[in-house]
Amino acid sequence: MHTMIIAEAGVNHNGSLELAKKMALCAKQAGVDIVKYQTAVPELVVSKFAEKAAYQKENTGAAESQLEMVRRIHFDFDGHRELKKYCDEIGIAYLSTPFDNASIDFLASLDMPFWKIPSGEITNLPYLEKIAALKKPVMLSTGMSTLGEIEDALSVLENGGVTDITLLHCNTEYPTPFADANLLAMEDLRAQFGYPVGYSDHTLGVEADIAAVALGAAVIEKHFTLDKTMEGPDHKASLAPDELAYMVSAIRNVEQAFGDGKKHVTQSEAKNKPIARKSIVASREIKAGEAYSEENLTVKRPGDGISPMKWHEVMGKPAPRDFAEDEKIEL
């Protein structure tokens, strides 16, 4: 099993292309599969009347509007084109989530491996139809969604010809309280819709991500930043570079720990069997011909003699020779 790990750079580059490139290199060094950004034409995404979310106000202040904030933390299509080229050069897959139809048209020219639909667009019919028409694999994030809304979005994608879909369980709060992570809902999504399921995580730390892999997540998406103290809406709920690297390592270790699903003696533990197990030994001196009994036998390590599972078979048999105390007996 190989869990796809998406390092969500998002807008944690604060609108700086150079910072975005540094994040790509950081993600590469951490060992993730994909580094993901966000592409938007701010005026096509946010109205001038839209307020910031509570966490955005807390992290960036309430003086500017949501539109002003979005303008400040995005760069243009040319920047994304250059960023894609840089990712190709350093050997990490580039992905970006579009937030408007113009961005879909642009990103289609970059030949991304699949489309990632964010939770906020799951009820955006024109957007879903435009993605579906491209007939490429889709990852659909399901934060804030009911099963009915997910079913409706899937119908649009399926009717448009999309056959490769992964559902990402998600809670769209930054950070998500652990009590609201609801990881077991991944199984509900899998049972309801029959598609592979992953987890787009906004909790602090990496515990929920590791647990999600243990529960069968095919994909893990996690926000990261180069510095949690930077100004911006998502930095505080993101992983630092060392935390991202640790998460990748932990997930890869969990994958190895799954094994083949069959109970058997492994090569690593086989050498410890005689050391940890026991044999039937003399509890005192035994003379040749003396009958074995509970008075002259006991069980002790190592386990390279007669197994204690043959205890009752041994009882009453004559000793073939003299045995010293603690010596492994013979029949």
Q: Are 212 and 275 found together in one domain? A: no
pLDDT digits (tens, 9 = 90+) for 88-116: 999 999 999 999 999 999 999 999 999 99
Q: What is the CATH number of the domain that holds 89?
A: 3.20.20.70
Q: Are 205 and 278 found together in one domain? A: no
**Cβ contacts of 96 within 8 Å, gap of 6 or more:** 36, 37, 38, 39, 80, 107, 110, 112
For the chain, the first-to-last Cα distance in angstroms comes to: 49
pLDDT-derived band of residue 65, with 50, 70 and 90 as boundaries?
Answer: confident
Q: Are 274 and 251 found together in one domain? A: no
Q: Cα separation of 260 and 253, whole Å?
A: 14
Q: Which amino acid is at 113?
A: P
DSSP three-state, residue 5: strand
Q: Are 125 and 153 found together in one domain? A: yes
Q: Are 204 and 300 found together in one domain? A: no
pLDDT digits (tens, 9 = 90+) for 144-188: 999 999 999 999 999 999 999 999 999 999 999 999 999 999 999
Q: Supply the pLDDT for residue 302.
A: 98
Q: Are 279 and 248 found together in one domain? A: no
301 belongs to a structural domain = yes
pLDDT digits (tens, 9 = 90+) for 253-301: 999 999 999 999 999 999 999 999 999 999 999 999 999 999 999 999 9
With vertex at residue 232, the alpha carbon angle to CA 22 and CA 53, rounded to the nearest 5 degrees, is 140
Q: Are 171 and 293 found together in one domain? A: no
Q: Are 140 and 46 found together in one domain? A: yes
Q: Are 304 and 284 found together in one domain? A: yes
**How many beta carbons lie within 10 A of that of residue 147, not counting itself?**
13
**Cβ contacts of 94 within 8 Å, gap of 6 or more:** 24, 34, 35, 37, 83, 84, 87, 88, 110, 112
DSSP three-state, residue 301: coil
pLDDT-derived band of residue 323, with 50, 70 and 90 as boundaries?
Answer: very high
**Per-residue pLDDT at 31 exceeds 80:** yes
183 belongs to a structural domain = yes
Q: Supply the pLDDT for residue 58.
A: 80
Q: Where are the alpha helices (DSSP H) in 109-166?
A: 125-133, 147-159
Burial bucket for residue 230 (CB in 10 Å: 0-12, 13-18, 19+): middle
Q: Supply the pLDDT for residue 64.
A: 84
pLDDT digits (tens, 9 = 90+) for 207-258: 999 999 999 999 999 999 999 999 888 899 999 999 999 999 999 999 999 9
**Per-residue pLDDT at 63 exceeds 80:** no
222 belongs to a structural domain = yes
Q: Are 147 and 11 found together in one domain? A: yes
25 belongs to a structural domain = yes
Domain that holds residue 274: 267-314
Task: Tally the domains of the chain.
Answer: 2
16 belongs to a structural domain = yes
For β-strands 279-282 and 297-300, DSSP reports them as: antiparallel
26 belongs to a structural domain = yes
Q: Are 162 and 304 found together in one domain? A: no
Q: Are 169 and 232 found together in one domain? A: yes
pLDDT digits (tens, 9 = 90+) for 1-18: 899 999 999 999 999 999
pTM of the shown model: 0.90
